[in-house]
Structure 1
Amino acid sequence: MSVSDRIVAVRAQFPVMERLLYLDSAHQTPLATSVRAALEAFYTQGYELAGPKPVWLSRAEDVRRQVARFFNASPNEIAFTKNTSEGLNIAANAVPLNAGDNVVLIEGDHPNNAYAWLNLKRRGVQVRFAKLRDDEIATAQTFAPYIDERTKVITLSHVTFHAGQIHDLAGIGRLCEQRGILLVVDAMQSVGVVPVDVKALGISVLAAGTHKGLLVPQGLGILYVKEGLDALQPAYVGMSSVARPPADYIARPDDLELRADAGRFEYGNLNLPDLHALSASIDLIEGIGVPEILKHVTALGDRLIAHLDELGIALIGPRERGQRAHIYVLKVPVQKWADHFERHRVRVSPERGGIRVSFGMFNTPEDVDRLAEVVRHGLTDGVGDGTSDAAADVD
């Protein structure tokens, strides 16, 4: 079966596409039939068998191995969290930072990453913001002017939520390796859409939620911690975090040794329903392949840009192939166009300076053409031209 045939088959798993034009995968993805079936199977077991927890925990370890292969990591480098923000906060509090040390971010990147590190200012940690235009990608040269001998961390999104750039993590990773700096990556917008090889990219810590490109409902996150980063220690500890959890459930004050793997950052019950769903979603994604998904959504972006050029609508963010993936922000008056799209049953997001269109693997060229027609009608009806008004971040 060709890639295009597989994409058509996948689209049939998303019945929402029969009800509206869904172009909001950067906000969240709709539920696929196979993912829903995995959730239903979990709940059926809980309903009929009163919860076979040992079976579920064994499956969770199977999923850990599946996730590790997905990222080219080892299972002992994978921990499960609630979401991206929890993973980033775990990283910020795990890195041994002292007063006078500094961390470098991109100005305007997702605020939940910034806040995780800004919270350390009370400990005397300095947070520096590198400047970057919306149509630029971050490279090693972006960060070089901001780092010195006290720089301990560079952190950024792999793909930005508000302009869609794919940053040069490989180059930034090489800079970090040369300078002994940790690279902490927010992969929320890239995972499942852009290939993420943690080894090839030189990533020290990666955090991602699963409710966008990984097609799983909110409430589950993935944390990758590179093996050997033993200096990174958890701020919270539970029974699952320690190397020798007591079989009798009595804490031993004289035995507080933590696990040597990423599991030291897990400290409670896992989101077992979503882990079952994640297994099904990875199977679905790998049935097409992430490189093919990237090619597909990039081609949809090519088609969208051609329509926007014809319609005279400006794009916020890069136009060059290789610098963009599935996120495209139309520079139009936000509220007027948000109302217009809602009236025409088009699901998009208001974004900083425009309207964000974001593709999933289930979208087709015909979806792009339908969107263009809705935009054309809006221009004809006088909704507005390319002059944008303010928009709140709803990512």
Structure 2
Amino acid sequence: MNAIASQRDRFAIPREVHYLNCAYMAPLSHDVVAAMEEAARLKASPWNFEPADFFSVCERFRERAARLAGVAADTIAIVPSVSYALAVAAKNLTMSAGQNIVTLADQFPSNVYVWRELAARRGGNVVTVERPSQTCWSDAVLDAIGPDTAIVAVPHCHWADGRVVDLEAVGEKCREVGTALVLDLTQSLGAMPIDFSRVQPDFAVAACYKWLMGPYGIGMLYVDPKHYNGEPLEYNWINRGGSEDFARLVDYRDDFQPGARRFDMGERSNPPLLMGASAGLDFLLEFGVEHIAETLGEHTQAIADEAENAGLTSAAIGTRAPHFLSLGFPEGVPDGLTERLAAANVHVSVRGSSLRVTPHLYNDEIDRAALIAAIAS
């Protein structure tokens, strides 16, 4: 399969800017901006926004999100953030006193605080897994799962170093011991394949503003069908059965919209966010996640090869996600490195003890050359 050609012309990135920082925040494509502007104009004329539109804009997003993940649309809830989604998961999973929750060391805070609070409230513990040097996380996570594990809450790849967790192996181990599995896929969904039918998570969330190429303030939550009768985080009107009939909203009902829709956030029918996020998903669906992952793997490997010639180290693809490159310096990351790189119009991030480089389809060999030249200088 040939690499996807650079899509730079579909983004408002000046030629002199070398943005290799998608793990921080994706730039919005022209199509996403246009969709959000169209939606804002729709809201500027609310007489044209009919009751049916409250539902159709949601279902278009839900269908695209489901198609990208390879799951049924009924399994997708619309959420504003990862923390909201994980609060839904925590509310609907059981944990007894003395049990534990497994997380990764230095995991992103949104996927830590909720579990600390749940463990404290239920009289349990959070087990923080440490990664052996220069390896992926899989063996350490698998070793930590046992009969006393209530929940495993992990990402597909670590947000700082990109090293992976074998989710299929973890999912199998969770099922063997009766442990719930909750995933934060914000740093992987859309850039790295995942087979939900093989992993079988209870809940899995991804914010749209990174690898899903959409706006801030919206995300998708996968809910396994066995939790369809669970308790939502909030009780809003639109998630209830029959809410399509605005004339009968005060005929209060106890039933919910089907599937995962009961977990949708309040005021979900926000056209600028939904239509913008849908356009971002359309961009990814145009190429397919596997093709994107292969192309981004070629980008990061090319950078890794050139960085090695400059004396920097990195993990091999397989140990790390294909779209994530973490560069190590022999004597540690120099002070003020990202500021000096930004002054040269090269934009990356420092996370932990490494330089995090995360390109996307808007990058090309000119961006890679600029990064290496700026580091060398």
Normalised by the length of structure 2, the TM-score is 0.90
Secondary structure of 1:79's counterpart equals strand
Shift of 1:19: 4.2
- Quick one: which amino acid aligns to residue 146 of structure 1? A
**CA RMSD of superposed structures (Å):** 2.3
**Farther off after superposition, 150-159 or 47-56:** 47-56
Shift of 1:300: 1.2
Match of 1:124 in 2: 123
Match of 2:27 in 1: 30
Match of 2:339 in 1: 339
- Quick one: which amino acid aligns to residue 248 of structure 1? R
Secondary structure of 2:325's counterpart equals strand
Shift of 1:17: 4.2
Are 1:46 and 2:43 an aligned pair? yes
- Quick one: which amino acid aligns to residue 168 of structure 2? A
Match of 2:273 in 1: 274
Match of 1:107 in 2: 105
Give yes or no for contact 1:165–1:325 (8 Å, CA) kept in 2. no
Shift of 1:365: 2.7
Match of 1:55 in 2: 53
Give yes or no for contact 2:32–2:280 (8 Å, CA) kept in 1. yes
- Quick one: which amino acid aligns to residue 249 of structure 2? Y
Match of 1:363 in 2: 363
Deviations, residues 61-81 of structure 1 (Å, cap 9, x unaligned)? 122122112112111110010
**Distance in 1 between the 2:362 and 2:318 partners?**
20
Pairing 1:277-316 to 2, within 5 Å after superposition: 277-315=276-314
Normalised by the length of structure 1, the TM-score is 0.86
Pairing 1:202-281 to 2, within 5 Å after superposition: 202-230=200-228, 232-243=230-241, 248-250=248-250, 252=252, 256-259=254-257, 261-270=259-268, 271-281=270-280
Match of 1:350 in 2: 350
Give yes or no for contact 1:334–1:354 (8 Å, CA) kept in 2. no
**Distance in 2 between the 1:29 and 1:279 partners?**
14
Secondary structure of 1:199's counterpart equals helix
Give yes or no for contact 1:104–1:143 (8 Å, CA) kept in 2. yes
CA 1:152 to 1:167, structure 2 compared with 1: closer, same or farther past 3 Å? same
Deviations, residues 65-119 of structure 1 (Å, cap 9, x unaligned)? 2211211211111001011222122212221223333211112211210111001
CA 1:169 to 1:357, structure 2 compared with 1: closer, same or farther past 3 Å? same
**Distance in 2 between the 1:234 and 1:96 partners?**
15
Shift of 1:51: 5.2
Give yes or no for contact 1:154–1:182 (8 Å, CA) kept in 2. yes
Deviations, residues 365-393 of structure 1 (Å, cap 9, x unaligned)? 3321221111111xxxxxxxxxxxxxxxx
Match of 1:15 in 2: 12
Match of 2:372 in 1: 372
Shift of 1:237: 2.2
Deviations, residues 178-220 of structure 1 (Å, cap 9, x unaligned)? 2221111100010111123321322221011000111111000
Pairing 1:168-179 to 2, within 5 Å after superposition: 168-179=166-177
Shift of 1:279: 1.8
**Distance in 2 between the 1:38 and 1:74 partners?**
25
CA 1:107 to 1:231, structure 2 compared with 1: closer, same or farther past 3 Å? farther
Match of 1:72 among 64, 70, 73: 70
Shift of 1:150: 3.1
Deviations, residues 336-377 of structure 1 (Å, cap 9, x unaligned)? 211210210111112211322111122123321221111111
- Quick one: which amino acid aligns to residue 108 of structure 1? D
Highest relative contact order (Cα 8 Å, sep 6+), 1 or 2?
Answer: 2
- Quick one: which amino acid aligns to residue 286 of structure 1? L
Secondary structure of 2:5's counterpart equals helix
Segments of 5+ residues of structure 2 without an aligned counterpart are none
**Distance in 1 between the 2:104 and 2:248 partners?**
48
Give yes or no for contact 2:98–2:123 (8 Å, CA) kept in 1. yes
Give yes or no for contact 1:334–1:350 (8 Å, CA) kept in 2. no
Secondary structure of 1:159's counterpart equals coil
Give yes or no for contact 1:3–1:288 (8 Å, CA) kept in 2. no
Give yes or no for contact 2:145–2:173 (8 Å, CA) kept in 1. no
CA 1:110 to 1:334, structure 2 compared with 1: closer, same or farther past 3 Å? farther
**Farther off after superposition, 346-355 or 34-43:** 346-355
Secondary structure of 1:12's counterpart equals helix
**Farther off after superposition, 234-243 or 73-82:** 234-243
Shift of 1:251: 7.0
Q: How many residues align?
A: 369
**Distance in 2 between the 1:93 and 1:349 partners?**
34
Secondary structure of 1:88's counterpart equals helix
Deviations, residues 128-175 of structure 1 (Å, cap 9, x unaligned)? 112214632222x42344333332211101121100112211111111
Shift of 1:244: 5.4
**Distance in 2 between the 1:173 and 1:130 partners?**
16
**Distance in 2 between the 1:86 and 1:267 partners?**
8
- Quick one: which amino acid aligns to residue 35 of structure 1? V
Shift of 1:236: 2.5
Give yes or no for contact 1:135–1:163 (8 Å, CA) kept in 2. no
Match of 1:160 among 112, 134, 158: 158
Give yes or no for contact 1:95–1:231 (8 Å, CA) kept in 2. no
Give yes or no for contact 1:314–1:330 (8 Å, CA) kept in 2. yes
**Farther off after superposition, 92-101 or 76-85:** 92-101
CA 1:126 to 1:260, structure 2 compared with 1: closer, same or farther past 3 Å? farther
Shift of 1:36: 0.9
- Quick one: which amino acid aligns to residue 13 of structure 1? R
